[in-house]
Amino acid sequence: MTRFALTVVRHGETRFNKEKIIQGQGVDEPLSETGFKQAAAAGIFLNNVKFTHVFSSDLTRTRQTVHGILEKSKVCKDMTVKYDSRLRERKYGVAEGRALSELRAMAKAAGEECPVFTPPGGETLDQVKMRGKDFFDILCQLILQEAGENEQFSRGAPSNCLETSLAEIFPLGKNCPSESNSDSSAPGLVASVLVVSHGAYMKSLFNYFLTDLKCSLPTSLNKSEFMSVSPNTGISLFIINFEKGQEGKPTVQCVCMYLQDHLSGMTETC
């Protein structure tokens, strides 16, 4: 079995988030003062986690967020970030720069509801899902290739260290129907990946995990909560498993969704 951890974080708050204005891809708004504080708080929360790969959307709000996270890290401060346009927010076409209420009015006029409605020039939900699937497939191929190339070095302390750093702040092996994490014979993690992206995009990617890959959920989490939109800098953790010799889909285990522990007392800590 080959296992890796995937930590997904939504970007910090922007002024348009607070004002409920659609940003999508065409409105490249920077983080607000609160957003920078949220990113720093997420960085402090994750500062002992050893990431082996870091990916981010190439839009300003995600770039600033991933920078804010890494600059607080004790172990990954100098990590190279791979900026990927496949991690961008859903494209909303003519609705970008307009109030969310206007998007809902456009949907109603078309006899549809958000988020199923696609504004002119925007992406459909299926298009966003395929973009997420493409990124995830390429990521899995990368991790499996590296694990194969480094197989003789990937056992023991390095991989155990990856898992230990996550277990300090995440409920690994708890509240989950899968027993793989609590099995002492399970191999250590070969990689720990950080991804910083956007609310609607993450919702679509997680929908792919749930509906196509049959992602297992913690007992404390129901499907409606799983399919909600992440708050700004909400942190989600998944363990991705590939059985030895398995050519098909991986199994995905959700450890936690949209964790916000780092935001409690944010003003005092940041």
- Identify whether 53 is a catalytic site residue: no
90 is in an annotated binding site: yes
268 is in an annotated binding site: no
**For residue 21, what are the β-bridge partners?**
99
Catalytic pick from 53, 89, 123, 262? Answer: 89
Residue 165, helix vs strand vs coil: helix
201 is in an annotated binding site: no
129 is in an annotated binding site: no
Q: How far apart are CA 197 and CA 30, in angstroms?
A: 14
Catalytic pick from 11, 53, 198, 262? Answer: 11
14 is in an annotated binding site: yes
86 is in an annotated binding site: no
17 is in an annotated binding site: yes
Q: How many other CB atoms sit within 10 Å of the CB of residue 32?
A: 19
104 is in an annotated binding site: no
240 and 257 Cβ atoms separated by less than 8 Å: no
67 is in an annotated binding site: no
**Residue 247: exposure state from Cβ atoms within 10 A (0-12, 13-18, ≥19):** exposed
- Identify whether 11 is a catalytic site residue: yes
65 and 202 Cβ atoms separated by less than 8 Å: no
Distance from chain centroid for Cα 166: 15
| Contacts of 123-129 spanning 24+ positions with Cβ under 8 A | 123/90, 123/91, 123/92, 123/93, 125/90, 125/204, 128/90, 128/200, 128/201, 128/204, 129/204, 129/205, 129/207, 129/208
61 is in an annotated binding site: yes
12 is in an annotated binding site: yes
Q: How far apart are CA 255 and CA 6, in angstroms?
A: 10
- Of 40, 66, 89, residue with least CA distance to 204: 89
157 and 165 Cβ atoms separated by less than 8 Å: no
What amino acid positions are annotated as catalytic residues?
A: 11, 89
Binding-site residue set: 10-17, 61, 89-92
Binding site, annotated residues for substrate? 10-17, 61, 89-92
